[in-house]
Structures are given as structure tokens and as C-alpha cells.
Chain A
Amino acid sequence: MGKFIKWGLLALSLAVLATGWWLGLAWAPPDREMGDVQRIMYVHVPLQWAALVAMFINFVAAVSYMFKASWKLDATAESSAEVGLVLGTAGMITGAIWGRPTWGVYWSWDPRLTSQAIMLVAYTGYLVLRRFVEDPEKRATWSSVVAIIGAINLPIVWFSVRWWRSLHQVQSTPKTVDPEMTLALRVSAFGMLFITLWFLVARYRQALAERQAEVALPDALPSDLAAAGGANSSRVA
């Protein structure tokens, strides 16, 4: 199982992403107006989607941790925030580069770009907070609260282009994108999603190992004992 995830998933994601990018860069037609510059879509959009998925996992893990504490959930929250931040930063950089030839500027403080910047700062803050709290349990609880409140950035980023006037266009749908482009985008997006999953698994293992080193008995999380009366301690970690 471990070996399969380690190398099988990596090989699968690289193959899918390579296929998607090949479709996007060589097979799909250029855009009528943007020409070949439109091909940035197949890297920018999958990055942003994958970042939002990772950050949403962070939110779910944080809420779950508060309702049923476990180091696995804490490790999930930590890994998804970090992976989401990496992907979101790459998404923002590619978006800025795409903006230069199309909009004429790398950056403008429009609602979408501003909210995305705030979101990245929020998740940076989340990770910094985790670094600064030494006690694993306090760290898990406090960072969960930050994660839950910080998660409002996700719908704000997503809907910013609909709620307010922006330079960034609203979401495309298969109706507004030609089928070849849609296919290339979908394949690329799945490839990016698999890579994200692989990153999450690798980072999760590392975070979990770190937690286990921090607390001698991972099963003996006080809240777990209180919840189960200490009867069923084998279920955690």
C-alpha cells in the first residue's frame, strides 16, 4: 500500500499531467483572441483548483479535529494548508504572468486578485502560528480555530468575480470554452489533483511522524481519553 501510493500515484499523476499539458500545449487550438497565450490556462486553472481543494480539506480537517481530536486530523490539516499554499502561490504567479499580455498588467488590486492575496497571507499566518506554538495540543486547537475562520476566504475568492466588478473574468463553463480546450483543461486538472494528493500523503506522513515524536503516547490525547473513557484507545493514530 505504502509503496503503491509512493510511486504508483506519483507515476500516474505525472503521466496524466504530462498528457494534459501536451493536449493543451500542442493539440488544443489557440484562442481566437489570445492566440497561444491562452495555453497558460492549462497550468493556471488546475493550480488554483487544486489549491482550493487542499484548503477545503484543511477546513474539513480543522472542524473535524475540534469535534473529535486526533493527530491524524491535525496532520491532515497541517499538510493540506502547506500544499494549498504552495499551489496557490504558483497559481497566483502564473496568473500574474498571464495578466501581462492579456490585461496589460501583472497586477491590479481587483477583488479576485486582492482576495486571493489575502487568502495566501491567511494560510501563511496559519502555518506560522503552528510553528510558534510548542504544545502540540494547544497548537492543534488554536490553529483549527484560525483555519475555520480563515476558510471564509475560499468562498470569497471563488465568488469575488460574481459579487463585485473585477478585472478578472467570471468562471468559464464548458459552454464558453471549446471542447478541445475543455478536454485539455480537464486532463491537466486531474493530473494536478493527483499530484496534490501525492503531496498531501507525503506531507501527512511527515506531519504525523513529527506529532508522534512530540508526544510519547499519541493514543493518550487527553480529549480522546475523555471522549472514549479510555476504553478504546487503539483507534487513534
Chain B
Amino acid sequence: MSPVARNRLIALGALLVAGAGLGFVAFGNIGENLVYYWSPSEMLGQGAKAYSATIRLGGVVEPGSIQWNAEHTTLQFRVADDVKEGSPSVLVRSTETPPQMFRDKIGVVVEGTYDKSGVFSSNRLMVNHSNEYRAPKEGEDPRQWQETLSDATTAMGAK
């Protein structure tokens, strides 16, 4: 076989291997075996298997569920499958200050352990951002907020 024919054959072989590998990664069920995080309903569906192992739980922060104690830096909130009311959710406790992006309805991934009492103790709280980037709305300039910060805080305190 001439070197040219040999090289072409090797190239075709390599392309085939690459294509097969890619197909396996794309259409095989690697995704099911290597899940980055479980949703609350999936975790709850695992039953006792979900207890005590370090796992990641991902979902959205249930609206109105955030309870933050700045003095003791304790944070408590519920992670739900989605923002719809009544979707399965899990109570999460954390002792770290969450990222500034943290708010109601935002996507979060927490790393920690789930126990029988139904509480997920998080030791790592991550916020995931959507693919949307928008300018602030009228009268919503972030830098203006910064300036009115003390003002808003006082108003908060007075409430």
C-alpha cells in the first residue's frame, strides 16, 4: 500500500472513531449516569438512597421562602422543581452568605447532604444565571441603586 493510501485509510479510521465517540457521547445515556445535579422531585424519588451521601440539588428558589439571618449568617430557603406553585420542593439550610445574584425564583445548585428530617444541609451554594442579558429598565440603573443604598436600607429598617 502506498503511504498516501495508508494515510487516507488511517484518516478515515480516525474520523470513524471520532464520529462513533461523539455519537456515543451525544446519544448514549451518559447524561443519565453522570448527572450534575438532581431536581427536588428526583431527589425525593430516590427515597432513603439520597440520605447522607454528598449530592447536588438543583432547581429554583421558591418565591418567598428565603429566610436570612445576617447576624448568625444562617440561610434557609426552599429549592423547587420550577416556579409554579405547589411544585415539589426541598428545604435547604446553609451557613454561608449566598452570592449577590441569589433571589427568589433564580436557579440554584446546592452541594451537601440530605437527611431523614427532610432538610438539605448545603455547604456550597451556587447560583446559575440564564442566557439573558438586559439593560436595566427605566429608573433601574444599578449604579443609582448603589447611591440610594443607605436610603433603601433605612426604609427597610423602618418597615
A and B touch in the complex (CB under 8 A): yes
Instruction: Name A's B-contacting residues (CB within 8 A).
Output: 29-36, 38, 41, 63, 65-67, 69, 101-105, 108-111, 141, 144-145, 148-149, 151-152, 155-156, 159, 163-173, 176-178, 180-181, 222-223, 226-227
Q: Could you say which of A109, A145, A167, A227 contacts B128, with CB atoms under 8 Å apart?
A: A167
**What chain B residues lie within 8 Å of A166 (beta carbons)?**
36
A108 CA / B17 CA spacing, docked (Å): 30
Q: Could you say which of A148, A151, A173, A178 contacts B11, with CB atoms under 8 Å apart?
A: A148
**What chain B residues lie within 8 Å of A66 (beta carbons)?**
7-8, 10-11, 14
Nearest CB on B from A113, distance (A): 10
A38 CA / B101 CA spacing, docked (Å): 12
Can you sample 21 A-B contacts with CB below 8 Å?
Answer: A30-B135, A31-B135, A32-B142, A35-B142, A41-B133, A63-B11, A101-B100, A104-B126, A104-B127, A105-B126, A108-B109, A111-B34, A148-B11, A148-B15, A149-B21, A166-B36, A167-B126, A169-B129, A173-B131, A177-B133, A180-B135
| In the complex, residue of chain A having the shortest beta-carbon distance to the beta carbon of B106 | A33
Q: Identify whether the interface residues of B are mostly helix, strand, loop, or mixed.
A: mixed
| Interface hits, B1-56 → A, CB 8 Å | 2-4, 7-8, 10-11, 14-15, 17-18, 21-22, 25-26, 30-31, 34-37
| Interface hits, B138-155 → A, CB 8 Å | 140-143
**What chain A residues lie within 8 Å of B140 (beta carbons)?**
32
**What chain A residues lie within 8 Å of B135 (beta carbons)?**
29-32, 178, 180-181
**What chain A residues lie within 8 Å of B143 (beta carbons)?**
30
Decide if B99 is an interface residue (CB 8 Å cutoff).
yes
With A34-B101, A102-B101 as known contacts, state yes or no: A172 contacts B131, CB within 8 Å: yes
Instruction: Name B's A-contacting residues (CB within 8 A).
Output: 2-4, 7-8, 10-11, 14-15, 17-18, 21-22, 25-26, 30-31, 34-37, 58, 98-102, 109, 124-137, 140-143
